[in-house]
Structure 1
Amino acid sequence: MQTIVFIGSNKSGTSREALSISNTMGYYTVLLTNRKEFIKQREEFQEVHRMVYVENLLDKEIVFTIVRELEKDHKQICAVISFIDPFVSFAARISAELGLYQMSTDALAIMEEKTRFREQLKTLPVSPRFTVFHGEQSILRCVEEYQDYLPLILKSPVSNGSKDVLLVETSLEFKKGLGYLTKKFPSFPILIEEYLIGNQYLIEVIVKDGLISLVAIIEQEVNTGERFIITGYSFPATLENEAFEALHLAVASIIQTLGLVNGTCHLEMRLIKGEWKLIEINPRMSGGAMNRIIQEGTGINLVKETLKLFLGEELNLEKSKRNYVFAKFLTINTRGRLIKVVGKNKAADYKGVKEVYVKPRKGAILTKPYSLGDRYAYVIASADTPEQAKEIALTASKEIKFYLEPL
């Protein structure tokens, strides 16, 4: 039986959709997970034919042992895939060693670590000013050296989902931020970048045999409070022709410099006085509701096309529809234990609303947002104009209310 092995998954979002789509495509679907709660909730993963708990998903010997057991059970391994950091390049290397379709493993590995891709791309015009702070250096000396460049962005090179991304505007914040990150990540350097002000865009890219396809360009609404939390996605982004063409050239230069010939990625870029600057790049499609946003706007199921890429099949990236889509994500401003959520059905009844999703269950501890994982619901709406799609999503989202017990 033809089989796809997935390394890691979240409870929802694109990684979970990939499991369902694999099943729908007729593949025997195997999930290797390091999340014990998934084993306890096994009955909720009906799309998964076999689930195996693996404490360390980066242990190649254990993964190969499982693969060999599957093959003894007459399962034909067609792909080993991950939609989760930091397992993307690891899964691609497993596939390569099994003689499966060859992905650009080195390029994927570079994108998994922020200091690596910054170094690789530093000569390109899209690269912002940056430096790397190592833990053995003096924090005070670093602050003195770079305080004239404030405000700055501090990042852990292995974080994702806006976790551990700090805006520091004063020398004191700079010192505290470096101290916090070096204590939290003692084995990793800290990336220090210039703070860029401008509209931010997410670009979904799929590359096959060197052919670069920009599947979607989406404008993001970023809450620049304590952390950089994206609360709105508008598709398709509205860009002047000159900016659009410049974006294509900028993305192509990034992809070619990284050496990505086969693979997917998503980029976050800002348009600064007519020039594109790279904020982030990740070696996978974006998580959360991204597949649904793109599908509602274009008809393209990017998760399915990504699976086809890993399987070595021909892709179909033709748009079957052209709609405006807006996704509104909800956060809260306090901390507490969830008692109940109301308004989901009311929100879903609004004309133009395509999906309403509420993430937490009763009893869950909710907090103000420190990462993208702290967004607790979303509403996706579609309409004939971008303004209408946004208005519908925002109005419907106001129906959703979280009732918390203070902690």
Structure 2
Amino acid sequence: MQNKALVLVEGHMSIGLLYVKVAKNLGLHPIAMAADSTQYDYLEAEGVDTIHVDTNDIDALTLECSRLSQTWDIAGITGFTGLDESVYARIGRLCQHFKLPGPNPASVETCCDKFTQRQLLAEAGVPMPAFSLAADATEVQSSAAQIGLPVVLKPAVGSGSSGVRLCSNVDELGQHTAYLLGKEYMWEAPRGILVEEFAQGPHYSVEIMGNEVIAIGAADFDSPPHFVCREYTYPAPLSDQQYERIADISLNCLRTLGCGWGPANIDLRWTKLGPVVIEVNPRLAGGPIPRLVQLAYGIDLIREHIKLAVGVECNLRKRHSHTASARCLIPDRDGILNWIGGDREAASLPGVNLVKLDVKSNMTILRKGDYRDSIGCVIAASPTHAQTASMLQSAVDLLQWSITPVPNPPYRE
């Protein structure tokens, strides 16, 4: 009998390795397909069979999967979006072609276009910030004037907060518009700038599997004008009424967008008018979120996602209720990293689950104003919110680094 394989389209810096390890643990043989596998160090380290293919080409992906099926029993196909959300839509098409469980590609494509997503949600009565789509600088200025400053400018297609910026005045608006429309910013799709009202209030991240809300976490961001997440906490400190309201709105979003299979992540803010939806992502959240949900509730979202992808019933039963928090390490300047340390001491503290540094001495630090700005992460968990917060801060206090500034740093997105 052929061995069962799990095809992973593209890779992921923060959770790709976890998918490989869980797949092996489930008795599956992971096979990666990537346009440039060198950016995913764990593939070689784990000895993952890797096929180099243009993952933007659905025909090429289909051909490679057909070739694999002659040698392997392909049990499932899944993968990652990275900064290109449309990859997940192609994964859905592959699943349909090979009659395997997977996301609805049309629904994924709808979510990938943030303007279309917002239009559909607005028509369904989902609360959200005022928004408009602009094609050039004149339309950006007109939309911002109509909505009222401050506004958030973001590419209509993209992820990871890439190209997203709060613009508080006309000068900032013009500067960021010029950046997005210039040659420096790399667009994934035809250019279109989403101009949004700045929704002010606590930020919440909702993790869903299928039609079930698994967890709602609180997210705290670094200093404006960028939206770089500094800290996550699961569960968020919410009343039962607040939890139910966020859960109801989140599930309504999925029904409206036709996203009822597999993992989804929804970002909201609780404003003075109540919760408003910032974004619906028809995929599992990256970064520390899957680990935090597992520490908080005992639910391994990656394991359950893989089980769904290979047609096995998942188990979403919560096994315990703890508080888990992650602090992302965000440098305050660009420059040359002279040294970084304290990670061993921090990792030895009680309750600390992970201390991960993503940089080494003599590396160049150039902040982008998005998820790439993080140079490491610390995770702690305990039975209570106060205890977890204390453990996390104690670990972070032990981490130190030195950066020599560089003159005239580039424009931050």
Runs of 4+ in structure 1 off by over 6 angstroms are none
Would the aligned equivalents of 1:121 and 1:254 in 2 still touch at CA under 8 Å? Answer: yes
Letter in 2 for 1:236: P
After TM superposition, the structure 1 stretch with the greater mean CA deviation from structure 2, 155-164 or 172-181, is 172-181
Alignment partner for residue 75 of structure 2, among 73, 78, 89?
A: 78
In the TM superposition, residue 180 of structure 1 has moved relative to its aligned partner by 1.8
- Aligned-partner Cα distance in 1 for 2:271–2:250: 15
Q: From the superposition, tell whether residues 337 and 32 of structure 1 become closer, same or farther in structure 2 (CA, over 3 Å).
A: farther
- Aligned-partner Cα distance in 2 for 1:327–1:166: 23
Matches within 5 A, 1:350-365: 350-365=349-364
- Aligned-partner Cα distance in 1 for 2:394–2:350: 11
Identify the residue that residue 106 of structure 1 maps to in structure 2: 106
Would the aligned equivalents of 1:265 and 1:284 in 2 still touch at CA under 8 Å? Answer: yes
- Aligned-partner Cα distance in 1 for 2:394–2:109: 41
In the TM superposition, residue 363 of structure 1 has moved relative to its aligned partner by 4.2
In the TM superposition, residue 219 of structure 1 has moved relative to its aligned partner by 0.4
Matches within 5 A, 1:1-400: 1-11=3-13, 13-38=14-39, 43-46=44-47, 48=48, 50-54=49-53, 56-72=54-70, 74-84=71-81, 85-86=84-85, 87-123=87-123, 124-135=125-136, 139-140=137-138, 142-144=140-142, 146-147=144-145, 149-183=148-182, 184=185, 185=187, 187-207=190-210, 212-273=211-272, 275-368=274-367, 370-400=369-399
Q: From the superposition, tell whether residues 141 and 156 of structure 1 become closer, same or farther in structure 2 (CA, over 3 Å).
A: closer
Query: 3-state DSSP class of the match of 1:51?
Result: strand
- Percent pairwise identity: 22
Number of aligned residues = 395
In the TM superposition, residue 102 of structure 1 has moved relative to its aligned partner by 4.6
Letter in 2 for 1:146: A
Identify the residue that residue 411 of structure 2 maps to in structure 1: none
- Aligned-partner Cα distance in 1 for 2:204–2:91: 28
Would the aligned equivalents of 2:337 and 2:363 in 1 still touch at CA under 8 Å? Answer: yes
Would the aligned equivalents of 1:14 and 1:290 in 2 still touch at CA under 8 Å? Answer: no
- Aligned-partner Cα distance in 2 for 1:37–1:83: 16
Would the aligned equivalents of 1:343 and 1:401 in 2 still touch at CA under 8 Å? Answer: yes
- Aligned-partner Cα distance in 2 for 1:172–1:337: 30
Offset from partner CA, 1:273-306 (integer Å, 9 cap, x none): 2521111221211111111111111111001111
Query: 3-state DSSP class of the match of 1:228?
Result: coil
Would the aligned equivalents of 1:347 and 1:400 in 2 still touch at CA under 8 Å? Answer: yes
- Aligned-partner Cα distance in 1 for 2:236–2:348: 26
- Please report the RMSD computed on the Cα atoms of aligned residues, expressed in angstroms: 2.0
Would the aligned equivalents of 1:229 and 1:369 in 2 still touch at CA under 8 Å? Answer: no
Query: 3-state DSSP class of the match of 1:122?
Result: helix
In the TM superposition, residue 220 of structure 1 has moved relative to its aligned partner by 0.6
Query: 3-state DSSP class of the match of 2:31?
Result: strand
In the TM superposition, residue 199 of structure 1 has moved relative to its aligned partner by 0.3
TM-score, normalising length: structure 1: 0.91
Offset from partner CA, 1:216-266 (integer Å, 9 cap, x none): 100011124231111101111111222112112211211110112213210
- Aligned-partner Cα distance in 1 for 2:301–2:102: 19
Letter in 2 for 1:128: P
TM-score, normalising length: structure 2: 0.90
- Aligned-partner Cα distance in 1 for 2:39–2:132: 40
Would the aligned equivalents of 1:331 and 1:368 in 2 still touch at CA under 8 Å? Answer: no
In the TM superposition, residue 311 of structure 1 has moved relative to its aligned partner by 1.8
Would the aligned equivalents of 2:337 and 2:401 in 1 still touch at CA under 8 Å? Answer: yes
**Which structure 1 segments of 5+ residues have no match?**
none
